Amino acid sequence: MDIYSTTSIAGLVTVQMPFVSFFLQRFFPTVMVFDKEEIAFDKIIKDQRLAPFVSPFVKGRVNKKTGSTTQTFKPAYLKPLDDVRPTDVQTRMPGEAIGGTRSLQDKFDDALAEVAMDQDQQIDRRKEVMAVETLLTGKVVIEGPDYPKQEIDFGRDASLNITLAGTDKWDDALSDPCSDLETWSGLIRKKCGSAGSDVVMTDSVWNKLRKNKEFRDQLDIKRGIEEIPNIDPRVAEVVQYKGMWGQFHLWTYGNSYEDVDGNTVDVMTGNKLLMVAVGQNGLRGVQAHGAIYDIKAGLQPLEKFYKMWEENDPSVMMCMTQSAPLMVPAQINASLVVEVF
C-alpha cells in the first residue's frame, strides 16, 4: 500500500489519540455528511394539541398536517496546508534516542503523520469553537483572510438570552441561584418542549454558585457519574463534572485556543452560564459537513479528506486536510445563556 495515499493517511489519524471535544460529544454527537455545498434541514414543527372528543358512531376527523420549514445553510471550508521538507528531519526527533538507528525515511514518514494529525486536530478545535459560539450566541460568525464575513443566525428566541442585574446577580448576597436554575429550565421547556438539564459554566461562575448555602446543601457529587462522557485526559483538565443538583448535570468548562497572533483566547468567558435541554426533544445538535470539492475525493460526501502530493522543485511533500463543517442545532431554543454577574 502506498503510505502517502488518502486511505493510509486517514488510517494514521484514526489510530492516534483523537482530539476530544466536550461540546461536540455532549451537544452535537451526530455526524452527517452531504454531497452538496449547501446543507438543508427540514424542521418539523411539533404542536401541543389534544385529541378531539368525538362520537364513537361518527367518522373520525383527519388531523391537520403540521407545518414544516426548510432552512438552508452553507458551511465554511477548511483546508489547512503544510509542507514537509527533507531538511526538516535532519536533526534528532523529540523522544528519539541519541545515536538511534532510525533512517531519515522513517523520520520523514513520522513527520508526515504528525502533520496529518495536527491538521485533524486543528479542524476539530475549530468545530468545537463553532459549537460553543453557536450555543452561547444562537448564531455563528464565519470570517477569514480569504473569506468575507458571514453570519448564520439560527434564530434563538430573545427571551433565552438573559443578563442578570442588581441584586439578582450571583455575586450579590441577596441573589437566589437555585430559584434561577429552576426558572430557566422551565423557560426552555416552554420554548422547545423539553426542560433544561445540562448546565455549563466557567470556574468563576461555579465559584459564585457553590458559595450559596441552599445549593451547596443539595448538591449531589455522586449521582449521575455514569452519564459522564468518555473525556480524554487532556480535556479533563479543562472540563470537569461537578455533580448533580436536582435534575441538573453541572459542568465547568475552561477550554482555550491560540489565535493567529499567538494569543491564548478563552472559548467561554468568565461570567457566562449555558443551560441546554438534551435528548430527543432537546437540542439535537448535528455536526454537518458539506461537499468536499476535490476530484481526488471521488465526489463522495466526507467529514474530512486527507491529501498529499509531491512538489519537485524544491523537493517537498505538501499535506492538506479539507472539511466543510457547520454545527447545526435542530432546536436552538433548547439552549439558554445567562450573564450571571
The domain limits of the chain are: 6-44+69-339
The pTM of the full predicted model, rounded to 2 decimals, is 0.81
Instruction: Give the C-alpha separation, 119 to 110, whole Å.
Output: 14
pLDDT at res. 99: 54
**Can you tell me which residue has the cell 462522557?**
229
Strand, helix or coil for residue 120: helix
For 94-112, what is each residue's pLDDT tens digit?
A: 555 555 567 888 888 888 8
Does 3.90.1690.10 match the CATH number of domain 6-44+69-339?
yes
Question: In 198-331, which ranges are E strands?
Answer: 198-201, 239-245, 248-253, 256-258, 264-266, 272-276, 285-289, 305-311, 316-322, 325-329
Instruction: Give the C-alpha separation, 283 to 165, whole Å.
Output: 28
For 200-252, what is each residue's pLDDT tens digit?
A: 999 999 999 999 999 999 998 766 555 555 444 444 578 999 999 999 999 99
Q: Which residues contact 118 (CB under 8 A, 6 or more apart)?
A: 82
Q: Is the pLDDT of residue 1 over 50?
A: no
Give which of 339, 274, 21, 249 is closest to 135, Cα–Cα. 274
Query: Mean pLDDT across the stretch 176-198?
Result: 97
pLDDT band at 72 (very low <50, low <70, confident <90, very high): confident
Mean pLDDT across the chain: 83
Determine the angle formed by the axes of helices 6-15 and 104-137, rounding to 10 degrees. 70
For 22-35, what is each residue's pLDDT tens digit?
A: 999 999 999 999 88
Q: What is the DSSP string of 305-325?
A: EEEEEEETTTTEEEEEEEB-E
Give which of 193, 128, 199 is closest to 334, Cα–Cα. 193
Instruction: Give the C-alpha separation, 253 to 235, whole Å.
Output: 10
Query: Mean pLDDT across the stretch 255-262?
Result: 87
